[in-house]
Amino acid sequence: MDAAAAVNTSPLLRRFTAALLIALGTFLVIAIPQTSSVGTTLIELCALLAVALVLYGWLVYPLTTIIPACAALLVALGWAWAVRRTDWLLASWVACAALAALVISQRQRWAKELQRHRQIVEQRQGQRTEAEHALASAADAQDALRKKLDRYSQLQTIAEELSNLTDLESIARLAVDRAFDLIGKSDVCLLFLLDPERQELSFFASRKQESVPAIRAKHGDPFDRHVMRTHRPLLVSEVHRDIRFTPAVIAERPVGSVIACPLLLNQRPEGVLRLDSAQTGVYTQDDLRFLDILLDLVGTAMTNARFFAQAQRLAMTDGLTGLMLRRPFLDGLSRELTRSARSHEPVSVIMIDVDHFKAYNDTFGHTAGDLVLRLVADILRQTLPASALTARYGGEEFAVLLPRVSRLQAADLAEQLRSRIAQASPGESRRPSQRPTTPPRAGSVTVSVGVATAPEDAQAELDVIRVADQRLYSAKASGRNMVCAS
Protein backbone atom coordinates (compact mmCIF):
# COMPACT_ATOMS: atom_id res chain seq x y z
CA MET A 1 0.00 0.00 0.00
CA ASP A 2 2.93 2.40 0.80
CA ALA A 3 4.36 2.05 -2.68
CA ALA A 4 0.93 2.32 -4.27
CA ALA A 5 0.07 5.48 -2.33
CA ALA A 6 3.42 7.04 -3.13
CA VAL A 7 2.99 6.27 -6.78
CA ASN A 8 -0.65 7.34 -7.07
CA THR A 9 -0.19 10.70 -5.23
CA SER A 10 0.99 13.71 -7.18
CA PRO A 11 4.69 14.45 -6.51
CA LEU A 12 3.86 18.20 -6.36
CA LEU A 13 1.23 17.56 -3.68
CA ARG A 14 3.63 15.44 -1.65
CA ARG A 15 6.28 18.15 -1.82
CA PHE A 16 3.71 20.80 -0.83
CA THR A 17 2.58 18.71 2.18
CA ALA A 18 6.16 18.17 3.32
CA ALA A 19 6.92 21.89 3.00
CA LEU A 20 3.76 22.80 4.93
CA LEU A 21 4.61 20.31 7.71
CA ILE A 22 8.10 21.74 7.95
CA ALA A 23 6.71 25.30 8.06
CA LEU A 24 4.15 24.42 10.77
CA GLY A 25 6.73 22.57 12.79
CA THR A 26 9.10 25.51 12.53
CA PHE A 27 6.29 27.91 13.45
CA LEU A 28 5.35 25.85 16.53
CA VAL A 29 8.93 25.61 17.67
CA ILE A 30 9.38 29.36 17.28
CA ALA A 31 5.90 30.45 18.44
CA ILE A 32 5.46 28.32 21.56
CA PRO A 33 8.06 30.15 23.65
CA GLN A 34 6.56 33.53 22.51
CA THR A 35 3.71 33.45 24.99
CA SER A 36 3.07 37.14 24.83
CA SER A 37 3.18 37.84 21.10
CA VAL A 38 1.52 34.72 19.65
CA GLY A 39 -1.99 33.82 20.62
CA THR A 40 -2.87 30.45 22.03
CA THR A 41 -5.67 30.05 19.52
CA LEU A 42 -3.30 30.42 16.57
CA ILE A 43 -0.91 27.87 18.03
CA GLU A 44 -3.81 25.47 18.58
CA LEU A 45 -5.02 25.95 15.00
CA CYS A 46 -1.52 25.33 13.69
CA ALA A 47 -1.25 22.26 15.89
CA LEU A 48 -4.59 21.00 14.56
CA LEU A 49 -3.48 21.64 10.99
CA ALA A 50 -0.20 19.83 11.65
CA VAL A 51 -2.14 16.86 13.04
CA ALA A 52 -4.32 16.83 9.91
CA LEU A 53 -1.31 17.02 7.64
CA VAL A 54 0.43 14.23 9.51
CA LEU A 55 -2.72 12.14 9.21
CA TYR A 56 -2.71 12.85 5.47
CA GLY A 57 0.98 12.01 5.38
CA TRP A 58 0.18 8.63 6.95
CA LEU A 59 -1.93 7.94 3.88
CA VAL A 60 0.45 9.13 1.17
CA TYR A 61 3.98 8.64 2.52
CA PRO A 62 5.93 5.45 3.22
CA LEU A 63 6.19 4.50 6.90
CA THR A 64 9.94 5.16 6.91
CA THR A 65 9.21 8.79 6.08
CA ILE A 66 6.05 9.54 8.06
CA ILE A 67 6.99 7.88 11.39
CA PRO A 68 9.85 10.35 12.10
CA ALA A 69 7.58 13.26 11.10
CA CYS A 70 4.83 11.99 13.41
CA ALA A 71 7.31 11.54 16.27
CA ALA A 72 8.58 15.10 15.77
CA LEU A 73 5.00 16.44 15.79
CA LEU A 74 4.20 14.55 18.98
CA VAL A 75 7.30 16.01 20.62
CA ALA A 76 6.33 19.51 19.43
CA LEU A 77 2.75 19.11 20.69
CA GLY A 78 3.96 17.75 24.00
CA TRP A 79 6.32 20.67 24.35
CA ALA A 80 3.55 23.11 23.43
CA TRP A 81 1.23 21.58 26.01
CA ALA A 82 3.97 21.69 28.63
CA VAL A 83 4.51 25.37 27.91
CA ARG A 84 0.90 26.53 27.44
CA ARG A 85 -1.02 23.91 29.40
CA THR A 86 -4.17 24.15 27.28
CA ASP A 87 -6.75 21.42 26.94
CA TRP A 88 -6.80 21.87 23.13
CA LEU A 89 -3.09 21.13 22.80
CA LEU A 90 -3.46 18.11 25.05
CA ALA A 91 -6.38 16.92 22.99
CA SER A 92 -4.37 17.50 19.83
CA TRP A 93 -1.49 15.47 21.20
CA VAL A 94 -3.79 12.66 22.30
CA ALA A 95 -5.62 12.75 18.96
CA CYS A 96 -2.34 12.69 17.03
CA ALA A 97 -1.07 9.73 19.05
CA ALA A 98 -4.39 7.86 18.73
CA LEU A 99 -4.67 8.56 15.03
CA ALA A 100 -1.06 7.49 14.52
CA ALA A 101 -1.73 4.20 16.31
CA LEU A 102 -4.95 3.70 14.36
CA VAL A 103 -3.31 4.50 11.03
CA ILE A 104 -0.34 2.24 11.79
CA SER A 105 -2.72 -0.59 12.62
CA GLN A 106 -4.80 0.09 9.53
CA ARG A 107 -1.76 0.29 7.29
CA GLN A 108 -0.44 -2.97 8.64
CA ARG A 109 -3.80 -4.51 7.81
CA TRP A 110 -3.63 -2.89 4.39
CA ALA A 111 -0.11 -4.21 3.94
CA LYS A 112 -1.29 -7.74 4.73
CA GLU A 113 -4.23 -7.34 2.37
CA LEU A 114 -1.93 -5.93 -0.26
CA GLN A 115 0.47 -8.84 0.17
CA ARG A 116 -2.41 -11.28 -0.12
CA HIS A 117 -3.74 -9.53 -3.22
CA ARG A 118 -0.25 -9.46 -4.70
CA GLN A 119 0.05 -13.19 -4.13
CA ILE A 120 -3.34 -13.68 -5.74
CA VAL A 121 -2.31 -11.45 -8.67
CA GLU A 122 0.99 -13.32 -9.04
CA GLN A 123 -0.89 -16.61 -8.90
CA ARG A 124 -3.35 -15.36 -11.52
CA GLN A 125 -0.48 -14.11 -13.64
CA GLY A 126 1.18 -17.50 -13.33
CA GLN A 127 -2.06 -19.19 -14.30
CA ARG A 128 -2.47 -16.75 -17.15
CA THR A 129 1.08 -17.43 -18.33
CA GLU A 130 0.45 -21.17 -18.16
CA ALA A 131 -2.83 -20.69 -20.01
CA GLU A 132 -1.08 -18.59 -22.65
CA HIS A 133 1.59 -21.27 -23.02
CA ALA A 134 -1.12 -23.93 -23.25
CA LEU A 135 -2.97 -21.88 -25.86
CA ALA A 136 0.26 -21.36 -27.80
CA SER A 137 1.00 -25.09 -27.62
CA ALA A 138 -2.56 -25.86 -28.67
CA ALA A 139 -2.28 -23.39 -31.55
CA ASP A 140 1.03 -24.97 -32.61
CA ALA A 141 -0.50 -28.43 -32.33
CA GLN A 142 -3.54 -27.28 -34.30
CA ASP A 143 -1.31 -25.76 -36.95
CA ALA A 144 0.78 -28.93 -37.13
CA LEU A 145 -2.39 -31.03 -37.32
CA ARG A 146 -3.79 -28.79 -40.07
CA LYS A 147 -0.55 -29.12 -42.03
CA LYS A 148 -0.61 -32.87 -41.52
CA LEU A 149 -4.23 -33.06 -42.66
CA ASP A 150 -3.37 -30.92 -45.69
CA ARG A 151 -0.53 -33.26 -46.51
CA TYR A 152 -2.61 -36.39 -46.17
CA SER A 153 -5.45 -34.87 -48.16
CA GLN A 154 -2.85 -34.28 -50.86
CA LEU A 155 -2.11 -38.00 -50.79
CA GLN A 156 -5.62 -38.69 -52.06
CA THR A 157 -5.03 -36.28 -54.93
CA ILE A 158 -1.68 -37.92 -55.65
CA ALA A 159 -3.28 -41.37 -55.60
CA GLU A 160 -5.84 -40.20 -58.15
CA GLU A 161 -3.12 -38.70 -60.34
CA LEU A 162 -1.06 -41.89 -60.15
CA SER A 163 -4.06 -44.02 -61.07
CA ASN A 164 -4.24 -42.17 -64.40
CA LEU A 165 -0.59 -42.83 -65.30
CA THR A 166 0.57 -45.99 -67.02
CA ASP A 167 4.23 -45.33 -67.85
CA LEU A 168 7.13 -45.46 -65.40
CA GLU A 169 8.69 -42.18 -66.45
CA SER A 170 5.55 -40.15 -65.76
CA ILE A 171 5.03 -41.88 -62.41
CA ALA A 172 8.63 -41.22 -61.40
CA ARG A 173 8.40 -37.57 -62.44
CA LEU A 174 5.20 -37.11 -60.44
CA ALA A 175 6.69 -38.83 -57.36
CA VAL A 176 9.76 -36.58 -57.38
CA ASP A 177 7.77 -33.39 -57.92
CA ARG A 178 5.19 -34.14 -55.21
CA ALA A 179 7.80 -35.20 -52.65
CA PHE A 180 9.88 -32.08 -53.33
CA ASP A 181 6.87 -29.73 -53.12
CA LEU A 182 4.93 -31.22 -50.22
CA ILE A 183 7.79 -32.05 -47.87
CA GLY A 184 9.72 -28.94 -48.87
CA LYS A 185 12.82 -27.84 -46.97
CA SER A 186 15.00 -29.78 -49.43
CA ASP A 187 17.84 -28.86 -51.76
CA VAL A 188 17.61 -32.05 -53.83
CA CYS A 189 15.13 -34.88 -54.47
CA LEU A 190 16.55 -37.96 -56.21
CA LEU A 191 14.96 -41.16 -57.48
CA PHE A 192 17.14 -44.19 -58.22
CA LEU A 193 15.78 -47.41 -59.72
CA LEU A 194 17.42 -50.82 -59.61
CA ASP A 195 19.06 -51.95 -62.84
CA PRO A 196 17.94 -55.60 -63.09
CA GLU A 197 20.93 -56.65 -65.18
CA ARG A 198 23.71 -54.98 -63.18
CA GLN A 199 21.85 -55.20 -59.87
CA GLU A 200 22.83 -51.66 -58.95
CA LEU A 201 21.01 -48.39 -58.53
CA SER A 202 20.69 -46.19 -61.58
CA PHE A 203 19.69 -42.52 -61.62
CA PHE A 204 16.16 -42.09 -62.99
CA ALA A 205 14.69 -38.69 -62.04
CA SER A 206 15.52 -35.66 -59.91
CA ARG A 207 14.55 -32.16 -58.89
CA LYS A 208 16.75 -29.57 -57.19
CA GLN A 209 17.09 -25.96 -56.22
CA GLU A 210 18.63 -23.74 -58.88
CA SER A 211 21.66 -23.03 -56.69
CA VAL A 212 22.54 -26.73 -56.39
CA PRO A 213 25.14 -28.00 -58.89
CA ALA A 214 24.43 -30.82 -61.32
CA ILE A 215 24.00 -34.25 -59.78
CA ARG A 216 26.96 -36.49 -60.55
CA ALA A 217 26.10 -39.54 -58.42
CA LYS A 218 24.45 -41.65 -61.14
CA HIS A 219 24.43 -44.85 -59.08
CA GLY A 220 23.53 -43.53 -55.64
CA ASP A 221 25.73 -43.04 -52.59
CA PRO A 222 26.02 -44.61 -49.11
CA PHE A 223 22.63 -43.25 -48.03
CA ASP A 224 20.83 -44.92 -50.95
CA ARG A 225 22.76 -48.16 -50.67
CA HIS A 226 22.00 -48.31 -46.94
CA VAL A 227 18.26 -48.03 -47.65
CA MET A 228 18.46 -50.70 -50.35
CA ARG A 229 20.38 -53.01 -48.03
CA THR A 230 18.11 -52.59 -44.99
CA HIS A 231 14.79 -52.19 -46.86
CA ARG A 232 13.90 -49.55 -44.25
CA PRO A 233 13.29 -45.77 -44.32
CA LEU A 234 16.20 -43.57 -43.25
CA LEU A 235 16.23 -40.28 -41.31
CA VAL A 236 19.57 -38.60 -40.56
CA SER A 237 19.31 -35.24 -38.78
CA GLU A 238 23.05 -34.54 -38.61
CA VAL A 239 25.04 -36.36 -41.25
CA HIS A 240 28.44 -35.33 -39.91
CA ARG A 241 27.66 -36.88 -36.52
CA ASP A 242 26.32 -40.18 -37.85
CA ILE A 243 29.15 -42.70 -37.74
CA ARG A 244 27.48 -44.76 -40.47
CA PHE A 245 27.99 -42.06 -43.10
CA THR A 246 30.62 -39.60 -41.81
CA PRO A 247 33.50 -41.08 -43.87
CA ALA A 248 31.40 -40.90 -47.03
CA VAL A 249 29.94 -37.40 -46.90
CA ILE A 250 29.06 -36.19 -50.40
CA ALA A 251 31.85 -34.06 -51.81
CA GLU A 252 29.92 -32.41 -54.65
CA ARG A 253 27.60 -30.45 -52.29
CA PRO A 254 27.07 -30.00 -48.53
CA VAL A 255 24.58 -32.44 -46.98
CA GLY A 256 23.41 -31.80 -43.42
CA SER A 257 20.27 -33.95 -43.16
CA VAL A 258 18.68 -36.73 -45.22
CA ILE A 259 15.43 -38.67 -45.48
CA ALA A 260 15.07 -41.64 -47.82
CA CYS A 261 12.60 -44.49 -48.36
CA PRO A 262 12.83 -47.70 -50.36
CA LEU A 263 10.56 -48.19 -53.35
CA LEU A 264 9.09 -51.66 -52.82
CA LEU A 265 7.43 -53.55 -55.66
CA ASN A 266 5.89 -56.83 -54.54
CA GLN A 267 7.87 -56.51 -51.28
CA ARG A 268 11.16 -56.30 -53.19
CA PRO A 269 13.29 -53.13 -53.14
CA GLU A 270 13.35 -51.71 -56.67
CA GLY A 271 14.65 -48.20 -55.95
CA VAL A 272 15.15 -45.34 -53.49
CA LEU A 273 13.58 -41.88 -53.25
CA ARG A 274 15.71 -39.45 -51.25
CA LEU A 275 15.60 -35.82 -50.16
CA ASP A 276 18.51 -33.98 -48.58
CA SER A 277 19.32 -30.50 -47.31
CA ALA A 278 22.50 -28.63 -46.49
CA GLN A 279 21.01 -27.66 -43.11
CA THR A 280 20.92 -30.02 -40.12
CA GLY A 281 17.77 -31.06 -38.29
CA VAL A 282 15.49 -30.18 -41.19
CA TYR A 283 13.34 -33.31 -41.38
CA THR A 284 10.94 -34.85 -38.85
CA GLN A 285 9.41 -38.25 -38.27
CA ASP A 286 6.18 -36.90 -39.81
CA ASP A 287 8.13 -36.09 -43.00
CA LEU A 288 9.50 -39.62 -43.06
CA ARG A 289 6.05 -41.18 -42.52
CA PHE A 290 4.58 -39.03 -45.28
CA LEU A 291 7.38 -40.01 -47.66
CA ASP A 292 6.92 -43.68 -46.77
CA ILE A 293 3.19 -43.51 -47.56
CA LEU A 294 3.91 -41.65 -50.80
CA LEU A 295 6.36 -44.37 -51.82
CA ASP A 296 3.72 -47.02 -51.09
CA LEU A 297 1.39 -45.25 -53.53
CA VAL A 298 4.18 -44.89 -56.09
CA GLY A 299 5.13 -48.56 -55.70
CA THR A 300 1.53 -49.60 -56.32
CA ALA A 301 1.32 -47.31 -59.36
CA MET A 302 4.58 -48.70 -60.80
CA THR A 303 3.41 -52.27 -60.24
CA ASN A 304 0.18 -51.47 -62.06
CA ALA A 305 2.15 -49.76 -64.83
CA ARG A 306 4.27 -52.87 -65.30
CA PHE A 307 1.16 -55.03 -65.44
CA PHE A 308 -0.35 -52.62 -67.94
CA ALA A 309 2.81 -52.66 -70.07
CA GLN A 310 2.86 -56.44 -69.91
CA ALA A 311 -0.78 -56.59 -70.93
CA GLN A 312 -0.06 -54.15 -73.73
CA ARG A 313 2.83 -56.28 -74.92
CA LEU A 314 0.62 -59.36 -74.83
CA ALA A 315 -2.04 -57.50 -76.79
CA MET A 316 0.53 -56.33 -79.33
CA THR A 317 2.72 -59.43 -79.47
CA ASP A 318 2.25 -62.78 -81.12
CA GLY A 319 2.40 -65.49 -78.47
CA LEU A 320 4.22 -68.02 -80.67
CA THR A 321 6.97 -65.91 -82.23
CA GLY A 322 7.20 -62.96 -79.85
CA LEU A 323 6.88 -60.56 -82.79
CA MET A 324 4.46 -57.68 -83.14
CA LEU A 325 0.91 -58.33 -84.31
CA ARG A 326 -0.59 -56.89 -87.48
CA ARG A 327 -2.60 -53.97 -86.00
CA PRO A 328 0.24 -52.29 -84.07
CA PHE A 329 2.53 -52.89 -87.06
CA LEU A 330 0.16 -50.96 -89.31
CA ASP A 331 -0.04 -48.17 -86.69
CA GLY A 332 3.74 -47.95 -86.69
CA LEU A 333 3.81 -47.90 -90.48
CA SER A 334 1.25 -45.06 -90.53
CA ARG A 335 3.39 -43.00 -88.13
CA GLU A 336 6.54 -43.59 -90.15
CA LEU A 337 4.84 -42.66 -93.42
CA THR A 338 3.61 -39.41 -91.84
CA ARG A 339 7.13 -38.64 -90.64
CA SER A 340 8.52 -39.58 -94.04
CA ALA A 341 6.18 -37.12 -95.75
CA ARG A 342 7.56 -34.31 -93.57
CA SER A 343 11.25 -35.27 -93.67
CA HIS A 344 11.33 -36.65 -97.26
CA GLU A 345 13.15 -39.78 -96.03
CA PRO A 346 12.39 -43.25 -97.43
CA VAL A 347 10.47 -45.97 -95.57
CA SER A 348 10.76 -49.55 -96.75
CA VAL A 349 8.58 -52.59 -96.09
CA ILE A 350 9.60 -56.22 -96.49
CA MET A 351 6.92 -58.93 -96.77
CA ILE A 352 8.10 -62.52 -96.14
CA ASP A 353 6.19 -65.77 -96.68
CA VAL A 354 7.38 -69.29 -95.79
CA ASP A 355 7.40 -71.53 -98.85
CA HIS A 356 5.20 -74.67 -98.72
CA PHE A 357 4.23 -73.97 -95.11
CA LYS A 358 0.85 -75.70 -95.38
CA ALA A 359 2.63 -78.81 -96.62
CA TYR A 360 4.86 -78.78 -93.51
CA ASN A 361 1.81 -78.63 -91.29
CA ASP A 362 -0.06 -81.31 -93.21
CA THR A 363 2.92 -83.66 -93.39
CA PHE A 364 4.71 -83.16 -90.04
CA GLY A 365 2.04 -81.59 -87.86
CA HIS A 366 1.57 -78.19 -86.31
CA THR A 367 4.50 -78.63 -83.93
CA ALA A 368 6.93 -78.72 -86.86
CA GLY A 369 5.13 -75.75 -88.37
CA ASP A 370 5.53 -73.83 -85.11
CA LEU A 371 9.26 -74.61 -85.11
CA VAL A 372 9.56 -73.16 -88.61
CA LEU A 373 7.78 -69.96 -87.58
CA ARG A 374 9.99 -69.56 -84.49
CA LEU A 375 13.07 -70.19 -86.63
CA VAL A 376 12.11 -67.38 -89.02
CA ALA A 377 11.27 -65.02 -86.14
CA ASP A 378 14.62 -65.65 -84.43
CA ILE A 379 16.54 -64.95 -87.64
CA LEU A 380 14.58 -61.72 -88.18
CA ARG A 381 15.50 -60.51 -84.69
CA GLN A 382 19.15 -61.44 -85.14
CA THR A 383 19.58 -59.92 -88.60
CA LEU A 384 17.54 -56.71 -88.65
CA PRO A 385 18.66 -53.37 -87.13
CA ALA A 386 17.23 -52.18 -83.80
CA SER A 387 15.14 -49.51 -85.54
CA ALA A 388 13.17 -52.13 -87.51
CA LEU A 389 9.63 -53.14 -86.58
CA THR A 390 8.95 -56.83 -87.16
CA ALA A 391 5.52 -58.45 -87.13
CA ARG A 392 3.82 -61.72 -87.77
CA TYR A 393 1.44 -60.36 -90.36
CA GLY A 394 -0.75 -63.47 -90.52
CA GLY A 395 -0.32 -67.24 -90.71
CA GLU A 396 3.15 -67.90 -92.14
CA GLU A 397 3.57 -64.34 -93.43
CA PHE A 398 5.90 -61.80 -91.78
CA ALA A 399 6.29 -58.04 -92.28
CA VAL A 400 9.27 -55.79 -91.60
CA LEU A 401 9.19 -51.97 -91.35
CA LEU A 402 12.52 -50.21 -92.03
CA PRO A 403 12.49 -46.45 -91.33
CA ARG A 404 15.01 -44.31 -93.26
CA VAL A 405 16.06 -47.31 -95.42
CA SER A 406 16.11 -47.06 -99.22
CA ARG A 407 14.86 -49.74 -101.59
CA LEU A 408 18.40 -50.89 -102.41
CA GLN A 409 19.33 -51.22 -98.73
CA ALA A 410 16.06 -53.02 -98.01
CA ALA A 411 16.70 -55.45 -100.87
CA ASP A 412 20.15 -56.24 -99.43
CA LEU A 413 18.65 -56.91 -96.00
CA ALA A 414 15.94 -59.06 -97.57
CA GLU A 415 18.59 -61.16 -99.34
CA GLN A 416 20.50 -61.61 -96.08
CA LEU A 417 17.32 -62.83 -94.42
CA ARG A 418 16.49 -65.24 -97.21
CA SER A 419 20.02 -66.65 -97.22
CA ARG A 420 20.22 -67.08 -93.41
CA ILE A 421 16.83 -68.79 -93.28
CA ALA A 422 17.82 -71.21 -96.03
CA GLN A 423 21.03 -72.07 -94.13
CA ALA A 424 19.50 -72.03 -90.67
CA SER A 425 20.20 -75.65 -89.64
CA PRO A 426 22.57 -78.41 -90.88
CA GLY A 427 21.32 -81.13 -93.23
CA GLU A 428 20.39 -81.74 -96.81
CA SER A 429 19.32 -79.12 -99.30
CA ARG A 430 16.76 -79.39 -101.95
CA ARG A 431 15.44 -77.57 -104.96
CA PRO A 432 13.30 -74.56 -104.02
CA SER A 433 10.22 -75.98 -105.78
CA GLN A 434 10.44 -79.44 -104.21
CA ARG A 435 7.70 -80.31 -101.67
CA PRO A 436 9.03 -81.37 -98.22
CA THR A 437 9.04 -85.09 -97.38
CA THR A 438 11.11 -84.93 -94.13
CA PRO A 439 10.99 -82.64 -91.06
CA PRO A 440 12.48 -79.17 -91.55
CA ARG A 441 16.25 -79.08 -91.71
CA ALA A 442 18.95 -77.12 -93.57
CA GLY A 443 17.79 -76.15 -97.02
CA SER A 444 14.27 -77.43 -96.40
CA VAL A 445 12.95 -74.09 -95.03
CA THR A 446 12.90 -71.27 -97.56
CA VAL A 447 11.06 -67.98 -97.87
CA SER A 448 9.90 -65.72 -100.67
CA VAL A 449 10.36 -61.98 -100.11
CA GLY A 450 8.82 -58.82 -101.55
CA VAL A 451 10.16 -55.28 -101.02
CA ALA A 452 8.39 -51.93 -101.42
CA THR A 453 9.55 -48.41 -100.58
CA ALA A 454 7.66 -45.19 -99.93
CA PRO A 455 7.29 -42.75 -101.49
CA GLU A 456 8.72 -44.37 -104.64
CA ASP A 457 6.24 -47.24 -104.88
CA ALA A 458 3.31 -45.87 -102.88
CA GLN A 459 2.48 -43.37 -100.14
CA ALA A 460 -0.50 -44.81 -98.23
CA GLU A 461 0.16 -47.61 -95.74
CA LEU A 462 -2.11 -50.19 -97.35
CA ASP A 463 -0.77 -49.33 -100.78
CA VAL A 464 2.83 -49.93 -99.63
CA ILE A 465 1.76 -53.30 -98.12
CA ARG A 466 -0.09 -54.18 -101.35
CA VAL A 467 2.97 -53.44 -103.53
CA ALA A 468 5.28 -55.48 -101.26
CA ASP A 469 2.74 -58.33 -101.26
CA GLN A 470 2.49 -58.31 -105.05
CA ARG A 471 6.27 -58.57 -105.34
CA LEU A 472 6.29 -61.39 -102.79
CA TYR A 473 3.89 -63.37 -104.96
CA SER A 474 6.01 -62.50 -108.00
CA ALA A 475 8.93 -64.15 -106.15
CA LYS A 476 6.81 -67.21 -105.47
CA ALA A 477 5.69 -67.33 -109.12
CA SER A 478 9.33 -67.13 -110.21
CA GLY A 479 10.26 -70.28 -108.27
CA ARG A 480 10.24 -69.30 -104.54
CA ASN A 481 13.27 -68.83 -102.27
CA MET A 482 14.06 -65.45 -103.79
CA VAL A 483 13.69 -61.67 -103.30
CA CYS A 484 11.69 -59.40 -105.58
CA ALA A 485 12.23 -55.65 -105.08
CA SER A 486 10.90 -54.23 -108.34
Angle at 372 between CA 368 and CA 375, to 5 degrees: 135
Phi and psi based region of residue 427 (left: phi greater than 0; alpha: psi -120 to 50; beta: remaining): left
pLDDT score at 410? 93
Instruction: Name the architecture of domain 168-314.
Output: 2-Layer Sandwich (3.30)
Adjacent-strand bridge partners of 449? 352, 483
pLDDT score at 44? 60
Domain range list for the chain: 2-124, 168-314, 326-484
| 0.75 exceeded by pTM | no
Adjacent-strand bridge partners of 403? 347
Cβ burial, residue 45 (10 Å; 0-12/13-18/19+): middle
Longest dimension (CA), the chain: 174
CATH number of 326-484: 3.30.70.270
Dihedral of CA 39/45/48/49: which sign? negative
Going from the C-alpha of 143 to that of each of 125, 136, 140, 341, 444, the distances in angstroms are 26, 10, 5, 60, 80
Task: List strands edge to edge, sheet with 447-454.
Answer: 389-394, 397-403, 347-354, 447-454, 483-484
pLDDT score at 40? 58
pLDDT (tens place) for every residue of the chain, 486 residues total: 444 444 455 666 666 666 666 666 666 656 555 555 445 565 566 666 666 666 666 666 666 666 666 666 666 666 666 665 666 556 666 766 776 677 677 777 877 888 888 899 999 998 898 988 988 888 888 887 887 787 778 888 888 888 888 888 899 899 999 999 888 889 999 999 988 888 888 888 999 888 888 877 788 888 888 999 999 999 999 888 888 876 555 556 788 899 999 998 888 888 999 999 989 999 999 889 889 999 999 999 988 888 888 888 777 888 899 899 999 999 999 999 999 889 889 999 999 999 988 888 888 888 888 889 999 999 999 999 989 999 999 889 999 999 999 999 999 999 999 999 988 753 333 334 444 444 445 447 889 999 999 998 888 889 999 999 999 999 999 999 999 998
Going by the DSSP 8-state scheme, the letter that residue 354 receives in this structure is E
Q: Using CA atoms, how far apart are residues 267 and 421, in angstroms rounded to an integer? A: 45
Contact 398, 390 (CB under 8 A): yes
